[in-house]
Amino acid sequence: MRIKQENTLGELGSAIGKGLLAGLAGTAAITISQMIEMKITKREPSDAPVKVVSQVADIQPTDDEQKEKVSQEIHWAYGSALGISRGLIALTGLKGLPATALHFGVVWATALVVLPKYKAAPPITEEEPKSIAIDALHHAVYATAAGFTYDALDAGGRHERKFNRLVKQLRLKGVLNKLKHTI
């Protein structure tokens, strides 16, 4: 009985799909984090997404309502798409906290490079330490939520979990080692 068949394109597609869902969860988490922070600090919503998309895709919102709508659409699309990188990280074999830490680095580094490039935010060297810390916190919230979601989605199906429990029990009892030596 074959338990698992190698299927590279299937694994890639699965990683991308799970990554998109993880990115969606991460975007929901960072959105909530930002909303809480904006209430506390009295900060206005960022117009960085609109600034970038207006240069990249030549989209010009006509009024404040359109600007807010486009900003939210870009925020959700960008955040969801960044989840794909979490899926690609998982394909390397990294899981759990190491994968989440690497994903955090990828996501935050992307923001630190892209936003200043399109003049949507100043370079980090010109930011106040408090602003840097808040931005890092938001991105950590994103990466953590995306990581938990990805790992939950990647945990495998019911049959795979049963098989893994069986293997673990057999290892604990030494049965697998005995089988290795007899083969």
Cα–Cα distance measured from residue 69 to residue 27, given in angstroms and rounded to the nearest whole number = 16
Using pLDDT thresholds of 50, 70 and 90, give the confidence band for residue 1: very low
Statement: residue 4 has pLDDT above 60: no
pLDDT, average across residues 20-44: 96
pLDDT, average across residues 173-179: 64
26 contacts: CB under 8 Å, gap ≥ 6: 79, 82, 83, 141, 142, 143, 144, 145, 146, 149
Using pLDDT thresholds of 50, 70 and 90, give the confidence band for residue 134: very high
Q: What angle do CA 94, 99, 105 make, to 5 degrees?
A: 135
CB atoms within 10 A of CB 6: 6
Selected residue with higher pLDDT from 159 and 124? 124
pLDDT tens across 53-79, in order? 888 888 888 888 888 898 999 999 999
> What is the chain's mean pLDDT, rounded?
88
Selected residue with higher pLDDT from 165 and 133? 133
pLDDT tens across 35-55, in order? 999 999 999 998 898 889 888
Statement: residue 153 has pLDDT above 50: yes
Q: What is the pLDDT of residue 135?
A: 96
pLDDT, average across residues 94-121: 96
Statement: residue 167 has pLDDT above 80: no
Q: What angle do CA 10, 12, 13 make, to 5 degrees?
A: 65
